[in-house]
Amino acid sequence: MKICIILGTRPEIIKMSSIIRECEKEKLDFFILHTNQHYSENLDKIFFDELELPKPKYNLKVGSGTHAEETGKALIGIEIVLEKEKPDIVLVEGDTNTVLAGSLAASKLHIKVGHVEAGLRSYDRNMPEETNRVLTDHISDYLLVPTQKAKNIALKEGIDKRKIFVTGNTIVDAVYQNLRLAQKRKKNLLDKLNLKRKNFFLITAHREENIDIKEKLKNLFRAFELLFEQFSLPLIYPIHPRTKKMIKRFHLKVPKGLNLIESLSYLEFLFLEANAKLVLTDSGGIQEEACILRVPCVTLRENTERPES
């Protein structure tokens, strides 16, 4: 059996890392097709190197764009590769535009589709990810759901029970495998940032609904300020360039106690996450990671497709 693993973003690489390692271990016939939906080729190479993963056989260099642009470019590029390679099954993970493009391309070529992390729902159609999740689930041949709750959701939507398999979540394996790498390579990071174990809060906030609206971002900053006033612990915020741009555009003052630092590598972030007293995030993946690491987590969203976290 020939397997095509389709990836497009860093969270997908992280969550599929354990499956890729298992494919290598079992000497399965597989290859990686990477759409490179968001990142530069150089940053991407560093990321695969950091996690000690094999390089993708194909890199489509789709880049960022509108949802239509990303999905369309990925769909065209993926179809070309699938027609050439003729895999028996395509594996996609999550809810990105790459996931939708990969599942559509494979389905139309009559190639089996396996959706890792199927059955999740936020029930918020304002989120483009929700559309991607629903469509991908309904054209997949194998729904690899993380929980019984996710299975029940798929069943309620009329999906054939013979297609649904409760597998657990690959992020659990990925966190433990990658944490070992992080502890080995990043053990001096706390000293470098002048932090003490379990004596700081870690923040990530990147979603449009939090960052692109001045009042929302202002309210977040006020909440961070109140946290510092209450607990007197540093708040560490590895900041995305877009967030930095919005802070400047909105002329917002960074509150006392909030430490904006440059973006971290995945292993650096995972190491900080494991050592934080509290995580505040609007990222679904980080909600899961914090839960696995048993670090308390505040979700900076009005809803989540991961209620278990």
Which residues have a catalytic role annotated? Answer: 206
What's the burial of 206, exposed, middle or buried (CB within 10 Å: 0-12/13-18/19+)? middle
Element holding 1 (H helix, E strand): none
Q: How far is CA 127 from CA 1, 132, 255, 305, 308, in A?
A: 35, 9, 29, 11, 19
For 251, phi then psi, to 5°, come to 55, 45
Q: What is the largest CA-CA distance in the chain?
A: 60
Rounded CA-CA distance 131/121 in Å is 10
Which two three-digit tokens encode residue 9?
Answer: 């973003």
β-pair partners for 31: 4
> Strand ranges (DSSP E) for the chain?
2-7, 29-34, 58-59, 89-93, 112-116, 142-145, 164-166, 201-204, 235-238, 258-261, 278-281, 297-299
